[in-house]
């Protein structure tokens, strides 16, 4: 089964796949390998079109956006 989540707000649509893709691209730029991630929490603020995330790596190191979000338009 394939699931697609579409978020709609104020005449703007974004899919969960688009959000996931942006987060994975940002992690790649930070030289983080997906297989090294133990836990990944992604937060999307609708009114700001801002994406925040926190990734806990297997060695318990934490990587994320901090106070600088990713934006999706």
Domain ranges of the chain: 11-71
Task: Note the pTM of the prediction, 2 decimals.
Answer: 0.89
Helix, strand, or coil here: 35? Answer: helix
Token couple for 66: 């901090």
pLDDT at 73: 85
CB of 37 within 8 A of CB of 56? yes
Contacts of 66 (CB under 8 A, 6+ apart): none
CB < 8 Å & 24+ apart, contacts of 5-11: 7/44, 7/46, 9/46, 9/47, 10/46, 10/47
Question: Where do we find the tokens 């956006």?
Answer: 65
**Band of pLDDT at residue 48, cut at 50, 70 and 90:** very high
């Amino acid at each position: 089964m394939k699931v697609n989540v579409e978020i709609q707000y104020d005449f703007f649509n974004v899919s969960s796949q688009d959000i996931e893709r942006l987060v994975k691209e940002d992690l790649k730029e930070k030289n983080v390998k997906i297989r090294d991630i133990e836990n990944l929490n992604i937060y999307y603020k609708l009114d700001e079109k801002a994406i925040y995330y926190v990734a806990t790596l297997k060695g318990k190191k934490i990587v994320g956006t901090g106070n600088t979000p990713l934006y999706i338009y």
